[in-house]
Amino acid sequence: MNKKELSAAELTFLKGIGPGRAELFFAQGVRNLWDLLEYFPRNYLDERARTPIGNVRDQELVLLRARVCAPVRNFHARRMTITSTRIADETGQIEAVWYNQPYLVKNLQEGKVYLFEGKVKFSRGRLSLNAAKVMPVKDEMPGIVPVYPLGGGLTQKIVSAAVKGALELLSPEFDPLPMHYRQNLMDFSKAYEQIHFPASFEEMEKARKRLVFDELFIQQLALRSQKLSRQENQGGVVMNPPENWQDALLSSLPYPLTGAQAKVIQEICRDLSDVRPMNRLLQGDVGSGKTMVAFFSVYAAFLCGYQSALMAPTEVLARQHFKEASRVLEPLGVRTALLTGTVTGKERQTLLEKLKNGEIDFLIGTHALIQDPVVFYRPGLVITDEQHRFGVRQRWMLAQKDGEQEGLVNVLVMTATPIPRTLAMILYGDMDISVLDEMPPGRTPVKTYSVNTSYDERLYQFIRRQVEEGHQVYVICPMVEEAEETEMEDDQPPLRSAVGYQAYLSEMIFPDIPVGLLHGQMKNAEKDAQMTAFARGETKILVSTTVVEVGVNVPNATLMIVENAERFGLSQLHQLRGRVGRGRDESYCVLVSDQKKAEGSLRFNGWFLHRRGRSEASGRRRCFRVEAAWSAGV
């Protein structure tokens, strides 16, 4: 079978999969045989690298091949179901314990051999294997075992058997790429075989390379086709603003544009005057002036008689843009309006009528902009801010809003997330790219540091010093409140919650300093009150979740502390850091984490090295040294 035939074949085509078992796969998004081949392992275990039970040590992560040598029993303690048994190999025995997994009583059979992957702990004078993952043992010689993501009633044995059945149906002769594109690459069918059941990790890497190449190649073809189609389209909205059109807006600003801003505005003007619709990505660091570039584009559209729209990912950011647009553009005659989910009833109906009748020139809002029945009178330009927070379909929906449309509208998307050029070419290959690589005068680079919680006392002293000097401080936490029973891996550091940490700081550390609290579960009025108090300087320390990630502008804030930094994505860290350094005073970003797990620390250090001004290659060369320092809490 080829890919098309496998995509059309139902799971019940395989022996051993009936309607009931097929439903288990459906719940995981696997609906046909091709989906099954694409259900890749999340990890691999090398049975050859297993540890004898007689050699295990406290706090060691081990892989054991052992026989269940005692009855499997459940008992209850501290609101938990604890499952325990004993497992053995030729070198010894060890107790195995699981928490809240009572079904293991049925799944584990006394006398059978399994693979157990888990952490050894020494407690009450003896060693035990805690919360181990359990996998079936292959009948053949020990090798590399795939570990699949599971859900519902699926087991590793069921998934492995189903994938083997699908692989047997994949034709060895089928390959979607012409020969000259796949030289030095593994054959298509073999790549799927080796990604699921690799003969060695070297073969698995070759298979992964082939599948990654296919995915990127097809994506590039699609993006290239989309870009060529757009370039060949001569039906874009053409805008030719009058000569010296920028003068009025420039003269109203209290500062001159940077050279980078002026350059990008010229690039956008060339796009707007072309018969081909603009489709441009504007990338610039936080504070580089992307919003002002967008306002110049809106002003150009206004002078040509067209409406513009700007969609922001949060209401906080949308309100900030509306406030700034009202200050900058309304004195020049641009009628602005704000549309968010909180605008309802008669107010919303009146706004939509004005938009449809052409009485609004610039509409700013959140996802509410792409909801029906938002209709424009004469749309010409759509702008998406923080585009990484939106999907392609959402951007497309905004660009397709109806009205007396004279052609395809011009599209400008903005992002502050650092995007290496190669990645930008991959992700935004259907767009032209402009970069604001110059900061406005007076902005000083934010100094970035990484510490662990042993530095808490020093951080508290630093916070107090910043407040005494007249500045303000953000403290970001990864969660709103502590859960009653937080499920967490044994090697994960505890999480600080915004509610709990704000109470601790205000009562125990800074009883003499106003400490505010902000999170997404608050009502809009409460959030506005907290942000207003912080913006006015009434609150000196603001403990918050990532609700302040975008759209918050308090130039007096000079210190950003991110607790449990390993819990945040790279774009989030970058955005959070951008909340400080917005004034003329020296600013700092301190990332706090006790993470010692390689995945989290390497991801974090990749961003940290970038912010310290090191190149990507330098970061790769130094990653092991940095990893060691991070693990040691340096």
Q: Is residue 267 in a domain?
A: yes
What does the pLDDT average to over 34-62?
Answer: 90
What does the pLDDT average to over 156-161?
Answer: 90
Q: Burial level of 455, CB count in 10 A (0-12/13-18/19+)?
A: middle
Please indicate, yes or no, whether residues 273 and 391 belong to a single structural domain of this protein. Answer: yes
> Which residue is associated with the tokens 């990008």?
264
Q: Comparing 424 with 126, which gets the higher pLDDT?
A: 126
Give the type of residue at 330: E
Q: Which of 226, 542, 531 is nearest to 395 (CA)?
A: 226
432 pLDDT higher than 90: no
| Cα-to-chain-centroid distance, residue 604 | 13
Q: Is residue 377 in a domain?
A: yes
Please indicate, yes or no, whether residues 112 and 71 belong to a single structural domain of this protein. Answer: yes
**Of 135, 169, 197, which residue sits at a domain end?**
135
Is 165 within 8 Å of 147 (Cβ atoms)? no
140 pLDDT higher than 70: no
Whole-angstrom CA distances from 407 to 12, 299, 397, 551 are: 49, 19, 15, 32
pLDDT value of residue 259: 92
Q: What percent of the chain has pLDDT over 90?
A: 45
Q: Is residue 370 in a domain?
A: yes
611 pLDDT higher than 60: no
486 pLDDT higher than 50: no
pLDDT value of residue 205: 94
Identify the sign of the CA torsion 613, 448, 436, 216.
positive
> What is the rounded CA–CA span in Å between residue 265 and residue 320?
22
Q: DSSP label at 408?
A: B
pLDDT value of residue 219: 79
Backbone angles phi, psi at 619, to 5 degrees: -60, -40
Q: Is residue 78 in a domain?
A: yes
What does the pLDDT average to over 157-179?
Answer: 92
Q: What is the mean pLDDT of the chain?
A: 83
Q: Comparing 346 with 493, which gets the higher pLDDT?
A: 346
What does the pLDDT average to over 307-316?
Answer: 86
Q: Which residues, in sequence order, are CB contacts of 459 under 8 Å at separation 6+?
A: 451, 561, 590, 592
What does the pLDDT average to over 138-163?
Answer: 83
**pLDDT digits 0-9 by tens, 368-406:** 787 767 888 899 999 988 754 444 444 445 555 544 455
What does the pLDDT average to over 26-42?
Answer: 93
Please indicate, yes or no, whether residues 395 and 432 belong to a single structural domain of this protein. Answer: yes
116 pLDDT higher than 70: yes
**pLDDT digits 0-9 by tens, 256-287:** 899 999 999 999 999 999 888 888 989 888 77
Please indicate, yes or no, whether residues 394 and 256 belong to a single structural domain of this protein. Answer: yes
**Residue 343 structural domain:** 247-436
pLDDT value of residue 600: 47
> What is the rounded CA–CA span in Å between residue 116 and residue 243?
74
Is 382 within 8 Å of 414 (Cβ atoms)? no
494 pLDDT higher than 80: no
Among 26-30, 353-357, 614-618, the least confident range:
614-618
Q: DSSP label at 242?
A: P
* CATH number, domain with residue 561: 3.40.50.300
When pLDDT is cut at 50, 70 and 90, the band that residue 634 belongs to is very low
- 551: three-class secondary structure by DSSP: coil
Burial profile 260-281: b = 16 or more Cβ within 10 angstroms, e = fewer = bbebbbebbbebbeeebbbbbb
Is 434 within 8 Å of 288 (Cβ atoms)? no
Is 560 within 8 Å of 474 (Cβ atoms)? yes
Q: Tokens standing for 585?
A: 């005073």
What does the pLDDT average to over 436-445?
Answer: 77
Whole-angstrom CA distances from 253 to 243, 292, 331, 349, 439 are: 19, 10, 12, 34, 16
Is 590 within 8 Å of 562 (Cβ atoms)? yes
Please indicate, yes or no, whether residues 409 and 375 belong to a single structural domain of this protein. Answer: yes
Please indicate, yes or no, whether residues 393 and 475 belong to a single structural domain of this protein. Answer: no
**Of 436, 463, 487, which residue sits at a domain end?**
436
> Which residue is associated with the tokens 């990604």?
195
Is 515 within 8 Å of 505 (Cβ atoms)? yes
Q: Tokens standing for 601?
A: 């620390």
Please indicate, yes or no, whether residues 559 and 614 belong to a single structural domain of this protein. Answer: yes
What does the pLDDT average to over 474-490?
Answer: 67
516 pLDDT higher than 70: yes
145 pLDDT higher than 90: no
> What is the rounded CA–CA span in Å between residue 318 and residue 309?
11
599 pLDDT higher than 70: no
Q: Is residue 162 in a domain?
A: no
> What is the rounded CA–CA span in Å between residue 151 and residue 201?
26
Burial profile 162-176: b = 16 or more Cβ within 10 angstroms, e = fewer = bbebbbeebeeeebe
Q: Is residue 378 in a domain?
A: yes
pLDDT value of residue 628: 31
Q: Is residue 299 in a domain?
A: yes
**Of 93, 108, 135, which residue sits at a domain end?**
135
**pLDDT digits 0-9 by tens, 529-542:** 898 899 889 999 99
Q: Tokens standing for 437?
A: 């690589």
Please indicate, yes or no, whether residues 376 and 483 belong to a single structural domain of this protein. Answer: no
Please indicate, yes or no, whether residues 456 and 509 belong to a single structural domain of this protein. Answer: yes
**pLDDT digits 0-9 by tens, 555-572:** 899 999 999 998 888 778
Q: What percent of the chain has pLDDT over 70?
A: 83
pLDDT value of residue 33: 95
Alpha helices by DSSP H, 428-518: 456-468, 498-504
What does the pLDDT average to over 20-29?
Answer: 92
- The count of domains in the chain is 3
Q: Is residue 503 in a domain?
A: yes
> Which residue is associated with the tokens 């996802």?
367
164 pLDDT higher than 70: yes
606 pLDDT higher than 70: no
Please indicate, yes or no, whether residues 342 and 380 belong to a single structural domain of this protein. Answer: yes
- 273: three-class secondary structure by DSSP: coil
Please indicate, yes or no, whether residues 478 and 582 belong to a single structural domain of this protein. Answer: yes
Please indicate, yes or no, whether residues 517 and 404 belong to a single structural domain of this protein. Answer: no
* CATH number, domain with residue 62: 2.40.50.140
To 10 degrees, the CA torsion angle through 527, 471, 561, 631? Answer: 180
429 pLDDT higher than 80: no
**β-strands 432-436, 588-592 pairing:** unpaired
pLDDT value of residue 624: 31
Among 77-81, 110-114, 124-128, the least confident range:
77-81
